[in-house]
């Protein structure tokens, strides 16, 4: 029996851990999964709603760290997580993605000689100004089990000198969740509530510091939205960081004047999946949404200069559009005139990644 600490902290972690937690619960003789929530995200709409939608059990341990600077947040997670590791004495910890909770918990466990499994390993944007890139590089450097979602992840790790025996190409747990919950998400009433017609709105998410902490970049993107909303309604579920900056940069009036741009509260998982499946196209700076749109065959305009998920561009429906106003508007025009590429589903994005991961871990030599 392996005692495993499954770590979550921020919104994009919940849909990645859910399939692992569920799979482990099917093998109670082999695994005792213990769910740890660092509390990096704590708003009801950024956290609790996701536990309900994803049928996750209540966390066994809640560290309640909340928001702070990177150093303070990471340090607080480390201090509290070390106590939990000492108390729980796990055989293994699992971390997902690239948020501060991911690196904080990996570092603590490794120093206590507890093996770390990193899910979504090897992704690289090659932009070290992104906090997530630093979290990815460091977590991968100290993890014992590196589970990759696409070939680029495996290749990046090999190039960094990682022993191939540590790398397991298993597919994408985010897609496991998307498929598992697709029937339930169909019952969401969000389209009716917002009075939206399928295929007749664009969906936006924006929260990267490089876009929303920088008033010039943010304004260039808003300039593009101003034009695009003349042709198609835009729905914009608003991240707390983005909302705060809209206020502090004084953009409220400008946004209020765009009649066809609608800001809504952050959507839960099921409502967001419904919005995603039925939209005409997406404009985003998120990582995961690039993958979800590729799986669903929906055009995705990534408002960044790089992606750590190149398979979504190479074979999927994603394009790296950047933050130039004209380029965003032209790209949206391409979608609206039906000129966007079609795309295919990447290898092993088949809803069974968690099964593969749990299989590998059941044979793992642990602590
Ligand atoms: C974090 C991740 C990012 C991920 C994103 C998804 C890091 C370095 N970044 O960024 O990779 O894509 O989550 O959302 O880990 N806030 C709230 N309520 C909350 C959470 C945050 O109001 O529940 C506000 C706070 O003002 C906080 C700010 O949002 O200061 C930023 O939160 P933080 O967790 O630091 O980073 P995110 O921008 O959410």
**Would you call 205 helix, strand, or coil by DSSP?**
strand
State which ligand 1 atom lies nearest to the alpha carbon of 41.
23
pLDDT (0 to 100) of residue 132 = 98
Task: Say what the pLDDT of residue 364 is.
Answer: 83
**pLDDT for res 47:** 98
- Please give the number of the atom of ligand 1 that sits closest to the Cα of 135: 8
pLDDT, residue 131, reads: 98
What gap in Å lies between CA 204 and CA 190, rounded to an integer? 15
How big is the CA angle at 210 (ends 299 and 293), to the nearest 5 degrees? 15
Ligand 1 within 6 A of 262 CB?
Answer: no
Which of 302, 338, 335, 296 is closest to 318 using CA atoms?
302
CA 315 to chain centre: 20
Cα 183 off chain centre by: 21
User: At residue 366, does pLDDT exceed 70?
Assistant: no
Look at residue 367 in the predicted model and tell me its pLDDT. Answer: 58
To test the pocket of ligand 1, the residue of 16, 97, 99, 135 to mutate (highest count of ligand atoms within 8 Å of its CB) is 99
Confidence at residue 365, expressed as pLDDT on a 0 to 100 scale? 73
For 52, 306, 333, 337, the CA distances from 309, given in Å and listed in that order, are 28, 9, 24, 26
Taking only the tens place, the pLDDT of each residue in 161-201 is 999 999 999 999 999 999 999 999 999 999 999 999 999 99
Alpha helices in 169-323 (DSSP H): 173-180, 182-186, 190-193, 209-212, 215-228, 240-248, 252-256, 269-278, 288-296, 311-314
pLDDT > 80? residue 99:
yes
Is 248 in a helix, a strand, or coil? Answer: helix
Given this model, what pLDDT does residue 203 score?
Answer: 98
Residue 70 is among the residues annotated as catalytic for this protein: no
| Residue to mutate (ligand 1; options 7, 9, 10; most atoms within 8 A of CB) | 10
Ligand 1, atom 37, residue with closest C-alpha: 241
Among residues 168, 207, 239, 367, which one is catalytic? 207
Q: What value does the mean pLDDT take over residues 290-316?
A: 98
pTM: 0.97
Mean pLDDT of 321-332: 98
């Amino acid at each position: 029996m392996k005692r495993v600490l499954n770590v979550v902290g921020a919104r994009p972690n919940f849909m990645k851990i859910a399939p692992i937690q569920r799979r482990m619960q099917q093998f109670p003789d082999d695994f005792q999964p213990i769910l740890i929530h660092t509390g990096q995200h704590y708003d009801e709409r950024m956290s609790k709603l996701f536990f309900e939608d994803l049928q996750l059990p209540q966390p066994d341990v809640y560290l309640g760290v909340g928001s702070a600077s990177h150093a303070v947040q990471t340090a607080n997670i480390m201090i509290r997580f070390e106590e939990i590791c000492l108390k729980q004495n796990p055989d293994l910890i699992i971390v997902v993605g690239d948020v501060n909770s991911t690196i904080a918990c990996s570092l603590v466990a490794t120093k206590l000689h507890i093996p770390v499994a990193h899910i979504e390993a090897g992704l690289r944007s090659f932009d070290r100004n992104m906090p997530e890139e630093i979290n990815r590089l460091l977590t991968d450097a100290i993890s014992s089990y590196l589970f990759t979602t696409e070939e680029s992840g495996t290749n990046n790790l090999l190039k960094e000198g990682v022993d191939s025996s540590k790398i397991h190409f298993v597919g994408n747990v985010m897609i496991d969740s998307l498929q598992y919950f697709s029937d339930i998400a169909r019952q969401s009433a969000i389209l009716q509530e917002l009075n939206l017609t399928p295929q007749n709105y664009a969906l936006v998410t924006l929260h990267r510091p490089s876009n929303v902490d920088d008033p010039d970049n943010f304004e260039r993107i808003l300039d593009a939205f101003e034009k695009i909303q003349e042709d198609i309604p835009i729905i914009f579920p608003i991240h707390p960081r983005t909302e705060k900056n809209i206020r502090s940069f004084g953009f409220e009036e400008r946004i209020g004047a765009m009649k066809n741009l609608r800001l809504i509260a952050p959507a839960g998982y099921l409502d967001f999946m419904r919005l995603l499946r039925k939209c005409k196209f997406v404009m985003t700076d998120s990582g995961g949404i690039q993958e979800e749109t590729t799986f669903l065959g929906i055009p995705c305009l990534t408002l960044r200069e790089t992606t750590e998920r190149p398979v979504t561009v190479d074979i999927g429906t994603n394009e790296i559009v950047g933050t130039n106003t004209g380029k965003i508007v032209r790209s949206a025009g391409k979608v609206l005139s039906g000129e966007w590429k079609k795309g295919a589903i990447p290898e092993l994005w088949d809803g069974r990644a968690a099964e593969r991961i749990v299989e590998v871990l059941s044979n793992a030599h642990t602590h």
